[in-house]
A = this chain, B = another copy of it.
Amino acid sequence: MHVHLRQDDMLRNVTPFTARQFVGAVCMPNTLPPVDSVERYDRYCAEIRAAAEPYAFEPYVPLFFHEGLTREVLAPARERLFGVKLYPAGVTTNSEAGVSELAKIEPVLDVMQDLDLPLLVHGETNGYSHDREREFVGVYDHIAKTFPKLRITMEHISTVEAAAFLDRHENVFATVTLHHLLYTMDDLLGGMWNPFMFCKPIIKSPKDRAALRDLVLSGHPKVMFGSDSAPHTEVAKRTEGAAGCFTAPVLLPCLAQFFEEHDALDRLQAFVSDHAQRIYRVTPPKREVLLEEATWTVPPRYGSIVPVNAGQVLRWRVAG
């Protein structure tokens, strides 16, 4: 329920990894330019479908939030739209500037609530990196209270505080990534620096990870898998310091191993599929994906992209 498929060559290169393992995905709109109009939305969905062939694959593309998303724009296309993704640059919890920014976005949220269009949020302030998500919880709280019928997804939650906030409002949901579930900041910088673990929100402490694991392994019905797989070329990762983990090729094998190790394999299906279908009220085409116990080694790179877990031996494999 959260993947970056990018555009052009990168889109064609990475989409099959997702389409092979999943019959649909929330594909994020932060392309250049962003997917911020119904026209761009239609075009991007078509491009993703083409890139996914021969797999039948349903892209759920939230529009990139901006103040021009009025009722006139959204209502006529409501039936085929999925939702709206908010990247709230400059929004902070307690500052005047923050509140005024928040006031600016409320007309759009109001229309979305009326049209029952979900709001997906990258919930971080501009504060200190470790505190950005914790500080943003107040913004979630404000939006959830002000728009009690708006379904709100806290994307890629990474902290104790976001996990604890989940049950505060009925209309708040969350996605959790593979890497925030498996790793801590030590995997990024505890030894040598590992650029392929660098992402936003930054992977946090063992305590934060434990809170996410508790949520996910308990089968919490408001928690969905969202990989946030975010490919960059090896050159961009090493020389530009680009943020994003490319996990697409290893998702189901790593998740199976994680759930198995925690004696919760029976909860994997709901985490990666059922919860999201219920929360988002979507009905993707049916497809069975078979996981088999068979070891394989993750390649050091896929073309120009280095995946998370490169070179590691995994115990589960997607069959076929």
A193 touches B128 (CB 8 A): no
A217 close to chain B: CB less than 8 A: no
A60 close to chain B: CB less than 8 A: no
B241 touches A129 (CB 8 A): no
A193 touches B185 (CB 8 A): no
Cross-interface CB contact of A193 among B130, B195, B206, cutoff 8 Å: B195
Q: B-facing mask of A119-163, CB < 8 A → 1, else 0?
A: 000000000111000000000000000000000000000000000
Interface size, chain A (Cβ < 8 Å): 22
List chain B residues, Cβ under 8 A from A243. 192-193
Cross-interface CB contact of A184 among B128, B238, B239, B240, cutoff 8 Å: B128
A239 to B194, alpha carbons, bound, how many Å? 9
When A195-B193, A198-B193 are in contact, do A186 and B129 touch as well, CB less than 8 Å? Answer: yes
A202 close to chain B: CB less than 8 A: yes
List chain B residues, Cβ under 8 A from A184. 128
Q: B-facing mask of A238-249, CB < 8 A → 1, else 0?
A: 111111000000
When A129-B186, A185-B130 are in contact, do A241 and B194 touch as well, CB less than 8 Å? Answer: yes
A320 close to chain B: CB less than 8 A: no
A205 close to chain B: CB less than 8 A: yes
A128 touches B195 (CB 8 A): no
B241 touches A206 (CB 8 A): no
Binding site for B on A (CB under 8 A): 128-130, 184-186, 189-190, 192-195, 198, 202, 205-206, 238-243
A-B contact pairs, 9 of them (CB 8 A): A128-B184, A128-B190, A130-B205, A192-B240, A192-B241, A192-B242, A193-B193, A193-B243, A194-B241
